[in-house]
Structure 1
């Protein structure tokens, strides 16, 4: 935000997008208090009709500024004040007015919003080109540690990761337990605040259920058919089924992925979910080979994911919190780890892709009964020739090459999918990553990374 202020010098407005309750309003108010002599925050959830009507006629900006100063009892100073449009999607004309307001140049402008791009919020307006967009995510693990008063752990972890050194068994166990706490609480500011204030998971869970209820209300408003709600609610079940894609037809009878593209776009625009697309050709230009009909869905916040997965139970009958915290998670709940990896990669700027493929070379598993069979891998025998389907959980770009990533919810170091992928696409790979729940190890091209180090990828 500070980079925008210093480099823009009033030539663009800043648009901060993100899901509801992620803390957009809080952060822009704090920024405005620190960086400007005065500011006006127009909250379009509560703004009067008279305030909204100001943006219908832009012929007299002096009048608009005067009315805002009177209504909010704040004096604006040229090039020293900021005007904030909070939840700007609720007043499309105010967003359209940004072009004229920025051109006027007297003040800086910050907009916040969710569901910015859906049709009803951009209908009949000219979307201003004078916007610089920032996406706000739930708090990442480093920010979570800051909230708990710990400013040293992550920099020290980064030094160890950069030097390819292990954490040490005792320290690693503690750090992994702390990370599991983050997975449970999540990164929504209200949930984090409630944990810090109460140290009570039942209170945290109640806060998260309230946020999910708010999301459900939003989904019903933008899609009365209920399709978006059904797609959202089924994300944990779809991941738990361990299939290679989100099966729309099993959630919405008679529908396929290509029939709900609009609902998926609206769901993605809400900021509440992350979409990992299948890339048909795993190469450095993965976006060029994205399969829009084959995808997986994750929640943007793993704390909310945990609550959504068990929302049919009351908290008192739900021991998922203590099982996960104490690393006693059942094998079929490993998708919680997959969700936190998706969240972390996305938060740190990676587009999400995965890849499935067949490989006729089954040498890795044919006769080795000591090797754990990967849940993502299936073996089929045809005419005595063994072929096997594999899935690489995530693929990220590294310059002109790619990095395949496999996620384990345990300390097992088996990696059949990575090995098969490396055999097939060796010339494209920069390195291989196995994310798991033990300490850092390095073996040639393959790095075993404790999940707490995921944000350094």
Structure 2
């Protein structure tokens, strides 16, 4: 199994909860939820009872309905049906893809109170109306989000543990890597950008070091997502598919805000809100909202009518970008890897930075001014995050983050942003392909250090 950071978080939950809460593990389909919790159950408990509600029979669902007040009989039948011996306070019960059977989630409050086992639920689309109807969301439910593998986890999978540790140390000390190791890290980062962080494609790449079989795996995942849209996005399937299909085209433009007019000249955000919400709730997309007046409470000035929509996994975005054919040739991937093909790298680098920030728990915000008003200066800041700032006694400040894919670029927007918002602004960050350097309150980080933010 691939080493995942979330495993340590599961351990912390077990140690701190001691059966007093269940854990909801959220994430996109095929992101590795079932594999992770099954491995956790095998390693950390005497037994693990995993019930997959995508495949559970009507008989199994009937046990939950018929014996919702008789847990002795419920667990006797489940134990016998699945052939798993249950042990008081040493068995993990997993409700896998629980959104397919919300009644089981509705029982969590009482199962936790019963106290005999630990419970983990996994799912996506957990906020969609039909998945919460007629149940009370249990307050005894902690939550954890499982994202695609980040670059550090990709390095672990590739056998580059020492390089990942060195990158973290150099980031902490604000020192560049030696040139040879910098080139190696950037090469691996470009491979990661094309492969992505979904576990199956990563495992295939680790074993074969070929992109064509990786692309086949990614296409299966994209097709699975499309079938999920058709199956679950009741009433607005066309809008969800339109947004999904339009992602690569929108991100390839200089103006990366999602322009609904590209889908329909009469389209309005109020008519597409559900489509964006559905993609975000399914963990297929990461939404980045405009912040009208940047300050430490970024959400307080969020403009929901203005957003950027990133693919949750950059490897899947690459596959979407090449979706005009049934397959993508190995040589095409190799050409992109070398930079010999005209794929918009700005699209990929900005998407992967969004992915890394989201994996580290940051909500995504950006700042933009058109410059059309009198005395107004045009600005476009890719991301805003809040971090402790050394020059403000480690108090939180807004850090503007600019993403640069070419080796030559300007920083006019950062200069204007710092001047306009003064003391609100913390460390300014530029993520670029070159070495680390610092100057005048601004740090230039190589792209591969994005997972450290």
TM range (shorter): over 0.9
Q: Which residue of 2 aligns with 1:52?
A: 61
Give distance in 2, aligned partners of 1:170 and 1:73: 54
From 223, 238, 254, give the equivalent of 1:226: 238
In structure 2, relative to structure 1, the CA distance for the partners of 1:135 and 1:299 (3 Å cut) is same
Deviations 1:72-127 (A, max 9, x none): 11111110111111111111111101111111000111111111110111111111
- Worse-superposed segment, 52-61 or 266-275: 52-61
Give the TM-score normalised by the residue count of structure 1: 0.91
Q: Which residue of 1 aligns with 2:334?
A: 322
Q: Which residue of 1 aligns with 2:5?
A: none
Tell me if the contact between 1:412 and 1:436 (Cα under 8 Å) persists in the aligned partners.
Answer: no
1:406 aligns with 2:406: no
From 139, 144, 157, give the equivalent of 1:134: 144
From 419, 428, 433, give the equivalent of 1:432: 428
Give distance in 1, aligned partners of 2:41 and 2:444: 43
Q: Which residue of 1 aligns with 2:92?
A: 82
What SS does the corresponding residue of 1:152 show, helix, strand or coil? helix
Deviations 1:219-274 (A, max 9, x none): 11122541111111111111112225211232145321122212221111001100
Q: Which residue of 2 aligns with 1:282?
A: 294
Q: Which residue of 1 aligns with 2:116?
A: 106
Give distance in 2, aligned partners of 1:281 and 1:87: 39
In structure 2, relative to structure 1, the CA distance for the partners of 1:424 and 1:327 (3 Å cut) is same
What SS does the corresponding residue of 1:412 show, helix, strand or coil? coil
Deviations 1:33-58 (A, max 9, x none): 01111121111121110111122241
Q: Which residue of 1 aligns with 2:133?
A: 123
Q: Which residue of 1 aligns with 2:309?
A: 297
Give distance in 2, aligned partners of 1:96 and 1:4: 21
Considering only aligned residues, what root-mean-square deviation do their CA atoms show, in Å?
Answer: 1.8
What SS does the corresponding residue of 1:409 show, helix, strand or coil? coil
From 442, 446, 455, give the equivalent of 2:438: 442
Q: Which residue of 1 aligns with 2:257?
A: 245
From 12, 15, 21, give the equivalent of 1:3: 12
Matches for 1:249-398 after TM superposition, within 5 Å: 249-316=261-328, 320-328=332-340, 330=342, 332-358=344-370, 388-398=377-387
What SS does the corresponding residue of 1:234 show, helix, strand or coil? helix
In structure 2, relative to structure 1, the CA distance for the partners of 1:163 and 1:341 (3 Å cut) is same
Matches for 1:24-43 after TM superposition, within 5 Å: 24-43=33-52
Count of matched residue positions in the alignment of Structure 1 and Structure 2: 434
Q: Which residue of 1 aligns with 2:7?
A: none
Give distance in 1, aligned partners of 2:250 and 2:256: 10
Give distance in 2, aligned partners of 1:244 and 1:82: 44
Give distance in 2, aligned partners of 1:355 and 1:344: 19
In structure 2, relative to structure 1, the CA distance for the partners of 1:316 and 1:96 (3 Å cut) is closer
Tell me if the contact between 1:89 and 1:121 (Cα under 8 Å) persists in the aligned partners.
Answer: yes
What SS does the corresponding residue of 1:216 show, helix, strand or coil? helix
Give distance in 1, aligned partners of 2:265 and 2:63: 46
From 411, 416, 419, give the equivalent of 2:412: 416
Tell me if the contact between 1:274 and 1:298 (Cα under 8 Å) persists in the aligned partners.
Answer: yes
Gaps spanning 5+ residues in structure 1: where?
A: 360-379
Deviations 1:395-421 (A, max 9, x none): 101143110111111222521111111
Gaps spanning 5+ residues in structure 2: where?
A: 1-9, 389-395
Give distance in 1, aligned partners of 2:173 and 2:119: 43
Tell me if the contact between 1:405 and 1:433 (Cα under 8 Å) persists in the aligned partners.
Answer: yes
Give distance in 2, aligned partners of 1:255 and 1:402: 33
Give distance in 2, aligned partners of 1:182 and 1:314: 22
Deviations 1:175-227 (A, max 9, x none): 10110000111110000111122222111001000000000111111225411
1:188 aligns with 2:169: no
